[in-house]
């Protein structure tokens, strides 16, 4: 297929879902059926086009990819910059390289499965629900058109972000997803909880939406500063142009390696918010208040995956910033935050009872694996785990939604609307009630745990462990730190996964809800089956050639060579320039990370089975961990009290400051005081102006008016209407005029006569 055709197809990948959004909003929003059909058409078009482009890139010769990784590149002039007449434009475009190709393969498939699942999840075809903004259990969602409109916009934004060839267009998709997450987390905006003390704590969906939006905005502001500085230094936002070896070398000369490291950390802050890394992780668990398909698209196919994808995309910048010319503090900060987040979130998941809440903290933990891998130099390992995690986490969330759906059916059967259908303590025995959901959930859980050799999660986690160990062997203690922290997190991951499977599916039903649960419809189960295939098989494309037995049989670590080709030549040149510590390389086989991977996965699964699966929980039986852990269990169940800590440290002081200082002092005291002073000054000035106006324009004018009235009153008397008086007056006037004329004419002789009389007298 020609490059022009591939470029056209790439432009059209996000167009389908985006067009579906506009058509639903403007034309078909009153037809729920037509709306979801249009959403399906949009996302299926993205799937077909995305896979077509991805497979064409995958079929390209590997050696050619290493020297020319960008197979598709197309851009248009968007905004003139500098002197307009010089013809300099800021361009917007799309590009596809191996990293983009694997993302297109995963994102389009996962999103499509979520869209198919959503039709069944919202009970399409059932009697129409009557209440807006709350779950209408076992009734068709009345706002189904709105749901699919937002989901289509969400999918289009993520695909736009993936194919973007520059940071600005990526940021546009990034922010659209922020809006969509806000809208979909708060989809059931009218829902409120009336909880008993023993219930799982919930906040309202609208509060969860605001929390997610504001938390991620904090990080996005810092990220935007990084984008501005990026443009200032590189003179472009295009990835291919900025991340060439020559461009990075010039940037080091301009701002130094440390400066590039700071720039990388500014951009990384966006990932901390979007991918829910400590300390901005607190929004993601509460995002579970949205419908389950929303949870799946946020946790697997989009949103949080976008954060990791962004730092994978800018990895050359991170490598230079933490290389010989930069500071190893950059790699320690990134790897440290990732490793700590992975372990911290895993400990919290151990003590949660919400079936989706466990998976939420699992997502935070697994994203920590990816971030830590990047900090340790594991570019391919992070990308590999990003892809495999997308498949099995989408499967787990959709399967958990199926469980909740089945429990809600049980609640409807027994007319119990007080028991929380998401609480695993009220489940049990669902293995027989929901067999398809059980087996697919089991596959996803084993992939998450890293069940050796079979599942995708094993191969991607093992790659991360191998990268950390290789870094330690080269003398960097960061590698050992990452390996130990992630090893502990992986052990806990396997443990809480088996705990979740045991509490949910094994034993006997512990409540009438579980007793009356039943399997979900095929709209929901078919996507589970299809995703489970990739939860197993996706990892087989990354089996190292040096792996015992299987490596020589496969003899092609496709993922490593394919995705590594994205920056293979760039990293080799940077290593030659002594700007990075290592290029993209095939790791030598070592038994240490493999044994660690086997021990933590199998050990965690065994301990989880021993505690929860060997003797499944009976009705009203206490969690076996509560008594031995004591206050530690309370600490973990309350999520390390991060929310409470942030309330005390940030939220309450901010509210107090806004109410007492900003409102009382600044607003009412300073601003209102100034405005009131200005008002009083102008009021006083106006009062004097009014008095002047009354004197000048009031009294003076009135006096003139009165004089004219008096004169007119007198002159009015001359108008009597009697002819005799008019004749008399006329005669008098004529007489007076005659006398005056005569006096004027004889003025000279009379004057002379009087002068002679005066002389005579003297």
Give the integer Cα–Cα distance in Å for 569 and 701. 93
Tell me the chain's radius of gyration from C-alpha atoms: 40
Which residues contact residue 408 at a Cβ distance below 8 angstroms, ignoring those fewer than 6 apart?
137, 138, 421
C-alpha separations of 636 from 78, 269, 625 in Å: 50, 26, 11
**pLDDT confidence bin for 755, thresholds 50/70/90:** low
pLDDT of residue 705: 76
Span of 177-186, 192-201, 433-442, 543-552 with lowest mean pLDDT: 192-201
C-alpha separations of 268 from 220, 273, 308, 547, 581 in Å: 10, 9, 9, 33, 20
**pLDDT confidence bin for 585, thresholds 50/70/90:** confident
pLDDT of residue 718: 64
Give the integer Cα–Cα distance in Å for 339 and 321. 20
pLDDT at 748 over 70: no
Give the integer Cα–Cα distance in Å for 283 and 211. 6
Cross-strand bridge partners of residue 423: 354
Per-residue pLDDT, averaged over 592-606, amounts to 94
pLDDT at 238 over 60: yes
Give the integer Cα–Cα distance in Å for 357 and 340. 19
Tens of pLDDT, residue by residue over 78-136, are 888 766 556 678 889 999 999 999 999 999 999 999 999 999 999 998 899 999 999 98
Task: Tokens for 723, please give them.
Answer: 């002819």
Of 342, 355, 433, give the one whose Cα is nearest residue 396: 355
Of 418, 423, 410, 601, give the one whose Cα is nearest residue 512: 410
**pLDDT confidence bin for 700, thresholds 50/70/90:** confident
Cβ atoms of residues 503 and 497 within 8 Å: no
pTM over 0.85: yes
Give the integer Cα–Cα distance in Å for 457 and 468. 17
Span of 176-185, 229-238, 697-706 with lowest mean pLDDT: 697-706
Give the integer Cα–Cα distance in Å for 512 and 526. 27
pLDDT of residue 704: 80
**pLDDT confidence bin for 320, thresholds 50/70/90:** very high
Tens of pLDDT, residue by residue over 37-67, are 999 999 999 999 999 999 999 999 888 898 8
**pLDDT confidence bin for 441, thresholds 50/70/90:** very high
Give the integer Cα–Cα distance in Å for 702 and 693. 12
Give the integer Cα–Cα distance in Å for 126 and 142. 11
- Tokens 């960008």 sit at which residue? 70
**pLDDT confidence bin for 750, thresholds 50/70/90:** low
- Mean pLDDT, the chain, whole residue set: 91
Bond preceding residue 276 cis, omega within 30 of 0: no
Cross-strand bridge partners of residue 93: 75
């Amino acid at each position: 297929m020609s490059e022009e055709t591939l470029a056209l197809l790439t432009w059209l990948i996000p167009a389908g879902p985006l067009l579906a959004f506009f058509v639903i909003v403007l034309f078909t929003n009153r037809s729920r059926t037509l709306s979801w059909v249009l959403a399906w058409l949009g996302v299926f078009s993205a799937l077909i086009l995305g896979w077509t482009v991805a497979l064409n890139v995958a079929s390209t010769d590997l050696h050619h990819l290493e020297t020319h990784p960008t197979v598709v590149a197309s851009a248009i002039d968007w905004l003139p910059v500098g002197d307009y007449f010089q013809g300099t434009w800021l361009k917007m475009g799309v590009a596809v390289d191996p990293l983009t190709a694997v993302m297109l393969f995963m994102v389009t498939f996962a999103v499509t499965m979520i869209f198919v699942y959503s039709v069944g999840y919202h009970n399409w075809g059932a009697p129409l629900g009557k209440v807006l903004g709350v779950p209408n259990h076992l009734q068709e969602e009345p706002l189904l058109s709105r749901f699919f409109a937002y989901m289509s916009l969400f999918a289009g934004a993520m695909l736009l972000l993936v194919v973007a060839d520059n940071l600005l267009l990526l940021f546009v998709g990034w922010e659209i997803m922020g809006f969509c997450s806000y809208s979909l987390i708060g989809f059931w905006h009218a829902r409120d909880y009336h909880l008993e003390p023993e219930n799982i704590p919930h906040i309202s969906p609208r509060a969860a939406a605001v929390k997610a939006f504001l938390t991620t905005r904090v990080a996005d502001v810092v990220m935007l500063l990084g984008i501005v500085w990026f443009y200032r230094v590189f003179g472009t936002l295009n990835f291919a142009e900025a991340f060439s070896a020559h461009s990075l070398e010039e940037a080091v000369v301009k701002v130094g390696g440390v400066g590039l490291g700071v720039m990388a950390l500014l951009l990384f802050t966006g990932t901390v918010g979007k991918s829910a890394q400590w300390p901005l992780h607190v929004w993601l668990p509460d995002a579970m208040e949205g419908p389950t398909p929303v949870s799946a698209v946020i946790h697997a196919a989009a949103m949080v995956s976008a954060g990791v994808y962004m730092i994978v995309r800018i990895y050359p910048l991170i490598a230079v910033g933490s290389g010989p010319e930069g500071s190893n503090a950059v790699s320690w900060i990134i790897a440290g935050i990732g490793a700590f987040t992975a372990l911290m979130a895993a400990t919290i998941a151990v003590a949660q009872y919400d079936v989706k809440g466990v998976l939420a903290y699992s997502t935070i933990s697994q994203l920590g694996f990816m971030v830590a891998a990047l900090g340790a130099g594991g570019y391919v390992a992070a990308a590999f785990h990003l892809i495999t995690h997308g498949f099995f986490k989408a499967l787990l969330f959709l399967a958990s939604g199926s469980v909740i759906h089945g429990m809600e059916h049980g609640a409807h059967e027994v007319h119990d609307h007080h028991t929380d259908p998401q609480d695993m303590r009220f489940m049990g025995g669902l293995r027989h009630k929901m067999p398809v959901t059980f087996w697919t959930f089991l596959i996803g859980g084993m992939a998450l745990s890293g069940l050796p050799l079979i599942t995708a999660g094993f191969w991607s986690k093992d790659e991360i462990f191998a990268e950390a160990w290789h870094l330690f062997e080269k003398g960097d203690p960061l590698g050992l730190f990452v390996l130990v922290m992630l090893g502990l997190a992986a052990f806990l991951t396997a443990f809480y996964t088996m705990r979740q499977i045991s509490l949910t599916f094994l034993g006997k039903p512990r409540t009438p809800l579980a007793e009356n649960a039943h399997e979900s419809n095929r709209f929901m189960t078919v996507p589970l089956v299809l995703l489970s295939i990739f939860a197993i098989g996706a990892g087989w494309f990354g089996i190292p050639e040096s792996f015992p037995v299987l490596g020589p049989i496969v003899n092609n670590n496709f993922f490593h060579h394919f995705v590594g080709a994205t920056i293979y030549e760039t990293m080799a040149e940077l290593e030659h320039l002594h700007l990075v510590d290592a290029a993209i390389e095939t790791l030598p086989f070592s038994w240490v990370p493999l044994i660690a991977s086997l021990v933590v996965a199998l050990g965690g699964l065994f301990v989880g089975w021993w505690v929860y699966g060997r003797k499944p929980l009976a009705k009203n039986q206490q969690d076996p961990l509560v008594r031995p852990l004591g206050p530690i269990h309370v600490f973990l169940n309350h999520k390390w009290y991060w929310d409470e800590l942030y309330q005390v440290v940030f939220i309450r002081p901010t509210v107090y400051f806004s109410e007492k200082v900003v409102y009382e002092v600044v607003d009412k005291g300073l601003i209102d005081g100034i405005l009131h002073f200005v008002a009083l000054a102008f009021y006083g000035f106006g009062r004097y102006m009014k008095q002047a106006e009354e004197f000048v324009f009031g009294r003076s004018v009135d006096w003139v008016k009165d004089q004219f009235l008096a004169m007119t009153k007198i002159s009015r008397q001359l108008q009597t209407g009697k002819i005799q008086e008019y004749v008399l007056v006329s005669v008098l006037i004529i007489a007076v005029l005659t006398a005056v004329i005569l006096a004027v004419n004889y003025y000279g002789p009379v004057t002379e006569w009087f002068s002679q009389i005066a002389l005579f007298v003297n």
